[in-house]
Structure 1
């Protein structure tokens, strides 16, 4: 019995059923491996596609999950292609099932998969919108790089506006801009450093795009961009969390030198030497308290003058605590 799904205001018919894994054809337009496909010259065969997909660690984990669950239960999306079915969504599950069938050739649990079967009515744009519903704003979200690429395709290939993207993906316009710029800067980096493993460095560029000062400097300062690429390519920066301290580092010439020569850890040591509060919760609290006391409101000063007992006790306790630490440390204040 045919059913319909509404995509972009159109009712598109499909049928539900089980499709044979042997009759499924992998999609060379699979958005999750387009960068990897681009690394291979010429036409990519079905076997090549399967190998590229299987190389992704999450697909191996997916295979184990399918084995433990006794088959695929979430419907894949396919389009009829003569006697075969082109897999538009679910290529990873298809490859995982093929691998399981190689290991368990007589196990019927891995021979078929539930599917939503479309005919020719599903366009590339329809599919892009449907995949966004499922893997950008839905429960089964892709990796951050894959999400950003898909948002970029919707914007640049299919002409979706910020307004449409914001409403449809339930993301703020600021978040959309952030994803688009992170994908663009990562793509530029990958053009210079095309090793497939570098896709994982998207997180570093994404974090940088969240910080206005770094984002603007990266766009406007070619020298800084070149240095940033060097830090990332040489593993001087290798974790997106490190970007949070980068504005402090680049404001300190000695820390920048340490970052350039040795990496983030050495740069952070320079910062901590100059400001212990960066690594010590206790000294962070002391620093904050010092700033607060230096700008103590007039009302609090007046209360102390008037003999407010609780406030006086707190000030005395602070004074005594500082004296005690100084005594233990053998230092003079």
Structure 2
């Protein structure tokens, strides 16, 4: 073992570097990655159940494969002594992966132990929260969007971190922080009405909604709209953040709203495309842009044409011929 020091919230905190057998470590029941799922279960959640919840996440399988290819866990987990065991404070998923690899490869010593940094009873819950933000919000090993949103919410509401602190520490703009906070509250409200565990993945949809001021204002001010939106999300009428970007246009078209209610986004989008072909065609998108540009032609270009600018005149004639060619092929008169 060797002792090192970490700077955490202005404090020099000692920790010990070592390797610990898997069976001497327990998972953290307050692990942010599964906290919502744990909250859905009555009574005390066992270590086996925590393992099951973490292993069920898609990222865990991918991480286990990476650990196997690397010949073991390389990034040390962070633990604290609790009774006769050590409790994981950061790295629950790595521990679960290491355990499963040990089960799948009996006798392989690469997975029987895991590198760990042992912090004695010096770290506060706030210290842990700051460390997790360093690793999984601002750092390279990022949590899912919902988990990041929850952690930012806790830093702000539970630990009293200011917008300035969050912006500096997380390397994130204040507007982005506001989006995360608003999206987390909206997702939490949605989950209270539709408490299906898979619905936490819809955080990204609320995050996209919060980027649009008019849509956010409508969500904040209208209970009727909120309930209608909850229904669309619960029934997967809207299932992708990119679809949320088109929602303001859908809301302006009663037929599109009806299609969204009964069939979903794709049918609503078809109605928008019928009314505006540029939405579904690169060609007509270019036509729309060109038409708008021609209507707003600057005086300098018009004067160039009057002055006999040959190249600009050729471009306009080519455009005219192209329109004539396409109208002939289509059998229409422009």
How far did 1:53 drift? 1.1
What aligned pairs does 1:181-330 form with structure 2 within 5 A after superposition? 181-330=182-331
CA distance in 2 between partners of 1:45 and 1:309 (Å):
80
Secondary structure of 1:2 counterpart: strand
Alpha-carbon distance, 1:200 to partner: 1.0
Distance, in Å, in 2 between the alignment partners of 1:284 and 1:50 is: 51
Aligned structure 1 segments of 4 or more residues deviating by more than 6 angstroms: none
Q: Are residues 1:87 and 2:80 paired?
A: no
Partner of 2:138: 137
Distance in 1, Cα, partners of 2:188 & 2:270: 32
SS at match of 1:272: helix
Distance 2:309 2:101 in 1: 76
3-state secondary structure, aligned to 2:28: coil
Residue of structure 2 in register with 1:19 after alignment: 20
Q: Which moved more, 1:311-320 or 1:8-17?
A: 311-320
1:9 corresponds to which residue?
10
Cα shift readout 1:23-56 (whole Å, capped 9, x = no counterpart): 0011111111100000101111112211111111
For 2:62 and 2:168, locate their aligned partners in 1 and report how far apart those are by CA, in whole Å: 33
Kindly state the Cα deviation for residue 105 of structure 1 after the two structures are TM-superposed.
2.8
CA-atom RMSD, angstroms?
A: 1.1
Normalised to the residue count of structure 2, the TM-score between the two structures is: 0.97
Distance 2:30 2:71 in 1: 29
After superposing the two structures, state which structure 1 stretch, 158-167 or 94-103, moved more: 94-103
Distance 2:296 2:18 in 1: 71
- Measure, in 2, the Cα distance between the counterparts of 1:62 and 1:315: 57
Deviation per residue, 1:111-152 (Å, 9 max, x gap): 111111000001110010011011100111111111111101
SS of the aligned residue for 2:246 comes to helix
TM-score for the superposition, normalised by structure 1: 0.97
Whole-angstrom distance in 1 between the partners of 2:108 and 2:295: 75
Cα deviation, residue 82, structure 1: 2.9
Matches of 1:270 and 1:295, distance apart in 2:
29
Q: For residue 68 of structure 1, report the CA deviation from its aligned partner.
A: 2.4
Counterpart in the other structure of 1:126: 127
Task: Tell me the matched-pair count.
Answer: 333
Residue equivalent to 2:160: 159
Deviation at 1:84, TM superposition (A): 1.0
